[in-house]
Chain A
Amino acid sequence: MNAFVALVRKDLVLYLSNRRALVMSLAAPILIAAFFGSLFGSRDSKPAHVNIAVTDLDRSEISTRVVAALRQDATFEVTATGEDEALALVKSGKVAAAITLPSGFGKLASDAMVGGAKPELALRYDPSQAIALQVVRGLLAEYVIRTVASTAGGPRLTLPYVTREDAAIARPETKYNSYAHSFAGMGVQFVLLMGVDLGIGLLLMRRLGLWKRLRAAPLSRRKLLGSRIVSTALIALVVFTVVYAAAIAIFGVRIDGSVAGFIAVLVAFALLTGSFGLLIAALGRTPEATRGLAILATLLLVMLGGAWVPSFIFPEWLQKLSLFAPTRWAVDGLDAMTWRGLPFHDALLPVAVMLAFAAVFTVVAIWRFAWDE
């Protein structure tokens, strides 16, 4: 027991003694999670404007009112300008789209409402901002139809329904916080990368002859490898705890579900990280060759797990595939216990799946570990 504790303590001391690496391992997930969280902001956060350019060649009452409606919409930041300049703005990426209301647009549009020829409205767009184009297209159609209909003496057109929008989460009194998901995702990513580093560390120990010295001591395989899993898991817990402490203190993330479930998910993921690091060490040959492959594998796992973007936006086949990624269960488990506000029993399946992965990783690692020198 004394030897086991000494080995674990050694790993912890070595991890904490490298101040620069320590700060980076804590700061990186917090900073990147903050960025992603702000990117996928909650519905209450103010969205960024869509910059558009408008050229009114008609100067009719209808075209003037359409331009005014676009200006009043908070979605848009409108630049009224000449057609050539508008096109230049699109090409340079400064606006997402340029709308040209042609000469005679007002009259032709009014006539088109009763079966006349339709005027052509030029819409030039930046192909890199395709999502913005959909917004421009939808709102432009709405404002043109409303303006033309009302100006032509027809009925005031309006949407024939209203919507009532409720966030469907377990505790209605809580609000969705996009940082909760981004901190879960980035925490999973960086903790797993830390696990890779500790696995590579084992390969470096072998290269430096330290492994020989450890092997020469009266230590069983279980003690030597088990201590590595435990120390990696403890470090993973420390990192995740600090990351979530920042998320709670600075970004308002709350554990709206079961605290016990949240802790269970973290512990299971920490053990998964420890076994993953050991697997890397067992399958790797040299630190250099292993590092690149291990990082690639980790990033793929993290991506599949929905750590970068929520897995629901994946195509169906990828969503099914992602169920085989332990990271998916980690992220889903953390989401469930934070912003989804689910009870303890909803943590059980993610925990069980992660522990199963950890067991498989450990068995394979012990089987494949190059024991002899």
Chain B
Amino acid sequence: MLEAVELRKSYGTRRAVADVSFRVAPGEVLGLLGPNGAGKSTTIAMIAGLTAPDAGSVSVNGATLGKDGDGFKRRIGLVPQDLALFEDLTALANIELFGALYDISGKTLRNRAAEVLAAVGLGDRAGDKPSTFSGGMKRRLNIACALVHDPDVLLLDEPTAGVDPQSRNAIFDNLEALKRSGKALVYTTHYMEEAERLADRIVVIDHGHVVASGTLPELMSTLPAAQMLQVDIDGDVDVASLASLPGVKQAQRSGNRLTLGIDDLARDGGAVLRTLAAAGCKVRHISSDRGNLEDVFLALTGRQLRD
């Protein structure tokens, strides 16, 4: 169990992280979601022991950061945002080096290195240098290097940055396998799709503060409307009368497009269409989206995730 309690960090007058707290259980993935500069990486750096927090505490299975120095670090595996690999060492040599830093040696190290290479699907490339790898393969090797000492908690700081969708899926498969094996994963990202797919619970961070946390359904429930209905029309209609319909949470018109927030597509959508027909409008096109984390973030902060 990883437990971060009221972590705080300032650089000069700028508060990078303010009272961030969360827990991650074994076999659980916690998504740290927020735009660039929100404080995700600083939070990860504090948990990994790279940056001393101004206040707060971090513990993993009873070992506390700052008190049980080595014991704490041995329970943590860090996958940095950068590809932290020695390009002139082979994949196997990279993993063996990082394993040796945790005092693993000899046959144990060789076996463990081979095991994690196989786990990320690079077993057949052990003797090749990362300089010959694709971006996705390098990312997987980056993860393998953090796994060699068999940590309880894996901290992944934007581990899919710059990889193609196919490689991203391969990485997700690796992470889901790790989750099944009982590892606790903390996954920072500014891609809501990744958080939605991987995370059991999500902590949304903005300007160093936790603005929301919970499971995906819990976060979705904070949205004013569960569905967004877009209707392209010819003709005039009173938008205020649409907004006053039962079940319609919001309504706005931009050109020929009406965007309406509704709770139930079948029930509330029908009322909207009937109102449009009564007003003499011709409906050209209808589409709907369910609310997503982007909408949650927008609703909470008034900003886009990728601002």
Indicate if the CB atoms of B105 and A213 lie closer than 8 Å: no
Indicate if the CB atoms of A213 and B80 lie closer than 8 Å: yes
Indicate if the CB atoms of A7 and B101 lie closer than 8 Å: yes
Indicate if the CB atoms of B97 and A373 lie closer than 8 Å: no
B177 within 8 A of A: no
Indicate if the CB atoms of A208 and B101 lie closer than 8 Å: no
Indicate if the CB atoms of A216 and B76 lie closer than 8 Å: yes
Stretch of B47-55, B227-235, B293-301 lying at the A interface = B47-55
How many chain B residues have a CB neighbour from A under 8 Å?
33
B167 within 8 A of A: no
Stretch of A12-20, A82-90, A137-145, A236-244 lying at the B interface = A12-20
B73 within 8 A of A: yes
A43 within 8 A of B: no
Given A215-B49, A216-B48, the answer on whether A10 and B97 have CB atoms closer than 8 Å is yes
Kindly state the separation between the CA atoms of A212 and B69 in the bound complex, as whole angstroms.
16
Given A209-B80, A373-B45, the answer on whether A216 and B86 have CB atoms closer than 8 Å is no
Which of A6, A17, A208, A373 has a CB less than 8 Å from the CB of B84? A208
Indicate if the CB atoms of A6 and B51 lie closer than 8 Å: no
B70 within 8 A of A: yes
Indicate if the CB atoms of A218 and B89 lie closer than 8 Å: no
Neighbouring A residues of B96 by C-beta, 8 Å? 6
A219 within 8 A of B: yes
Kindly state the separation between the CA atoms of A30 and B199 in the bound complex, as whole angstroms.
60
Neighbouring A residues of B236 by C-beta, 8 Å? none
A2 within 8 A of B: yes
B187 within 8 A of A: no
Neighbouring B residues of A162 by C-beta, 8 Å? none
A95-119 contacts to B, CB under 8 A, are none
User: Smallest CB-CB separation from B74: which chain A residue?
Assistant: A218
B102 within 8 A of A: yes
B69 CB to nearest chain A CB (Å): 7
Indicate if the CB atoms of B82 and A208 lie closer than 8 Å: yes
Interface centre among B82, B85, B89 (most CB of A within 10 A): B82
Neighbouring A residues of B76 by C-beta, 8 Å? 216
**Interface code B66-85, partner A: CB below 8 Å = 1, 0 otherwise?**
00011001101010111111
A217 within 8 A of B: yes
Indicate if the CB atoms of A3 and B51 lie closer than 8 Å: no
Given A209-B81, A210-B84, A212-B78, the answer on whether A218 and B97 have CB atoms closer than 8 Å is no
Kindly state the separation between the CA atoms of A218 and B75 in the bound complex, as whole angstroms.
10
B155 CB to nearest chain A CB (Å): 8
A170 within 8 A of B: no
Number of A-B contacts (CB under 8 A): 80
Which of B73, B84, B102 has a CB less than 8 Å from the CB of A212? B84
Indicate if the CB atoms of A3 and B78 lie closer than 8 Å: no
Indicate if the CB atoms of B69 and A213 lie closer than 8 Å: no
Neighbouring B residues of A373 by C-beta, 8 Å? 45, 50-51
User: Smallest CB-CB separation from A17: which chain B residue?
Assistant: B88
B91-134 contacts to A, CB under 8 A, are 93, 96-98, 100-105
Neighbouring B residues of A121 by C-beta, 8 Å? none
Which of B89, B100, B102 has a CB less than 8 Å from the CB of A13? B89
Q: Is the interface of B mostly helix, strand, loop or mixed?
A: loop
**Interface code A11-43, partner B: CB below 8 Å = 1, 0 otherwise?**
001100110000000000000000000000000
Indicate if the CB atoms of A13 and B93 lie closer than 8 Å: yes
Interface centre among A10, A14, A17 (most CB of B within 10 A): A10
Interface centre among B51, B74, B97 (most CB of A within 10 A): B97
Kindly state the separation between the CA atoms of A214 and B48 in the bound complex, as whole angstroms.
11
Kindly state the separation between the CA atoms of A212 and B70 in the bound complex, as whole angstroms.
16
A194-225 contacts to B, CB under 8 A, are 207-210, 212-219
Indicate if the CB atoms of A216 and B78 lie closer than 8 Å: yes
Neighbouring A residues of B145 by C-beta, 8 Å? 213
A372 within 8 A of B: yes
Neighbouring A residues of B104 by C-beta, 8 Å? 2
User: Smallest CB-CB separation from A219: which chain B residue?
Assistant: B101
Indicate if the CB atoms of B70 and A209 lie closer than 8 Å: no
Indicate if the CB atoms of A217 and B101 lie closer than 8 Å: yes
User: Smallest CB-CB separation from B96: which chain A residue?
Assistant: A6
Neighbouring A residues of B98 by C-beta, 8 Å? 213, 217
Kindly state the separation between the CA atoms of A219 and B103 in the bound complex, as whole angstroms.
10
Kindly state the separation between the CA atoms of A212 and B89 in the bound complex, as whole angstroms.
18
Neighbouring B residues of A218 by C-beta, 8 Å? 69-70, 73-74, 101-103
Indicate if the CB atoms of B78 and A213 lie closer than 8 Å: yes
A342 CB to nearest chain B CB (Å): 42
Kindly state the separation between the CA atoms of A6 and B148 in the bound complex, as whole angstroms.
15
A244 CB to nearest chain B CB (Å): 28
User: Smallest CB-CB separation from A211: which chain B residue?
Assistant: B84
**Interface code B283-296, partner A: CB below 8 Å = 1, 0 otherwise?**
00000000000000
Indicate if the CB atoms of A3 and B49 lie closer than 8 Å: no
Indicate if the CB atoms of A208 and B83 lie closer than 8 Å: yes
Neighbouring B residues of A17 by C-beta, 8 Å? 88-89
Which of A14, A207, A212 has a CB less than 8 Å from the CB of B86? A14
- 20 residue pairs A–B, Cβ–Cβ below 8 Å: A2-B104, A10-B97, A13-B89, A14-B86, A14-B89, A207-B82, A208-B83, A209-B81, A209-B83, A212-B80, A212-B82, A213-B80, A213-B98, A213-B146, A216-B48, A216-B73, A216-B78, A217-B73, A219-B101, A372-B51
The 7 A-B pairs of least Cβ separation, nearest first, read A209-B82, A6-B100, A218-B70, A217-B101, A209-B84, A216-B78, A209-B80
A residues whose Cβ falls under 8 Å from a Cβ of B: 2-3, 5-7, 10, 13-14, 17-18, 207-210, 212-219, 372-373
Given contacts A2-B104, A210-B82, A217-B101, 15 further A-B contacts (CB under 8 A): A5-B100, A6-B96, A6-B97, A7-B101, A10-B97, A209-B80, A209-B84, A212-B48, A212-B78, A215-B49, A218-B70, A218-B73, A218-B103, A373-B45, A373-B51
